[in-house]
Amino acid sequence: MTSTKALTDGDCPMASTVEPPTVGDCPKTGSIETPTDGTALREAGEEGSNAPVAGLVVIVLGLVFGLVLFGFSYLRYRTFKAHIHDLGLISQTLWSTLQGYPFRNSINPEIGYSANYLGNHFSPGLLAWLPVYALVGSPVALLLAQSFVLALGVWPFYRLCRDELDPWPAAALTGLWVIQPALWFSGLYDFHHETSCATLGLVVWLCHRRDRPFLMCLVLAFMASLKEHIPLLTAAFGVYLALFTQRRRLGVGIALVSVVYLALVMGLFVPYFNDTSSHSYFDRRYPHLGKSARDALVTCLTHPLDVLGFMATPRHLHYVTGLLAPWMFLPLLAPEVLLIPIPILFVNMQSRIEVSYDLGFYHSDTCLPWIGLAALLGFVRLRRLAPRLHRRWGPRLPIFLLAQAVFWHVTAQSAFLPGYRPPLSPLADHRDYRLTDHHRLIDRISAMIPREATLSVQTDLACFFTNRHGLYPFPHRMNDADFVLVDLTEPYGHRSEYRLFWLEYSFQTKASVYCQSVRRLFEDPGLVLVADEDGYLLFARRAGKGLPREPALARLEARCREWTRWTGRGYGYGRASSPIDGVEAAQ
- Of the candidates 396, 413, 431, which is a domain's last residue? 431
Predicted pLDDT at 38: 43
Q: Are residues 444 and 387 in the same domain?
A: no
With CA atoms as reference, report the closest residue to 65 among 141, 154, 145, 143: 154
Write the DSSP symbol of residue 33.
P
Phi, psi dihedral angles at 116 (to 5 degrees): -95, 120
Q: Are residues 445 and 365 in the same domain?
A: no
In a domain, 40, yes or no: no
Q: Are residues 418 and 545 in the same domain?
A: no
In a domain, 28, yes or no: no
Looking at per-residue pLDDT, the higher value among 283 and 16 belongs to: 283
Over residues 456-474, mean pLDDT: 96
- Of the candidates 431, 464, 485, which is a domain's last residue? 431
Over residues 377-405, mean pLDDT: 84
Domain that includes residue 408, residue range = 51-279+311-431
Q: Are residues 558 and 530 in the same domain?
A: yes
Q: Are residues 329 and 355 in the same domain?
A: yes
With CA atoms as reference, report the closest residue to 483 among 447, 509, 511: 447
Q: Are residues 334 and 241 in the same domain?
A: yes
Q: Are residues 478 and 574 in the same domain?
A: yes
pLDDT single digits (tens) 327-353: 999 999 999 999 999 999 999 999 998
Q: Are residues 545 and 469 in the same domain?
A: yes
Write the DSSP symbol of residue 84.
I
CA 438 vs. chain centroid, Å, equals: 29
Alpha-carbon distance of 530 to 521, in angstroms, equals 12
pLDDT single digits (tens) 77-114: 999 999 898 999 999 999 999 999 999 999 999 888 89
Write the DSSP symbol of residue 163.
T
pLDDT single digits (tens) 486-541: 999 988 989 888 999 999 999 988 999 999 999 999 999 999 999 999 999 999 99
The Cα diameter of the chain in Å comes to 94
HEC assignment per residue over 461-514: HHHHCCCCCCEEECCCCCCCCCEEEEECCCCCCCCCCCHHHHHHHHHCCCHHHH
Q: Are residues 86 and 169 in the same domain?
A: yes
Q: Are residues 110 and 146 in the same domain?
A: yes
In a domain, 46, yes or no: no
In a domain, 160, yes or no: yes
In a domain, 44, yes or no: no
Number of structural domains the chain divides into = 2
In a domain, 292, yes or no: no
Measured at the alpha carbon of residue 371, what is the angle toward residues 53 and 407, in degrees to the nearest 5?
70
Measured at the alpha carbon of residue 485, what is the angle toward residues 484 and 487, in degrees to the nearest 5?
150
Question: What letter represents residue 205's amino acid?
Answer: W
Write the DSSP symbol of residue 350.
T
- Of the candidates 412, 431, 450, which is a domain's last residue? 431
Q: Are residues 183 and 165 in the same domain?
A: yes
What residues contact 235, with CB distance under 8 A and at least 6 apart? 254, 255, 258, 259, 262, 343
Over residues 406-423, mean pLDDT: 94
In a domain, 41, yes or no: no
In a domain, 234, yes or no: yes
Q: Are residues 333 and 461 in the same domain?
A: no
Phi-psi map region of 347: left, alpha, beta (phi>0 left; psi -120 to 50 alpha): alpha
- Mean predicted lDDT score pLDDT of the chain: 88
SS3 label, residue 456? strand
Q: Does residue 196 carry a pLDDT above 90?
A: yes
Alpha-carbon distance of 500 to 509, in angstroms, equals 11
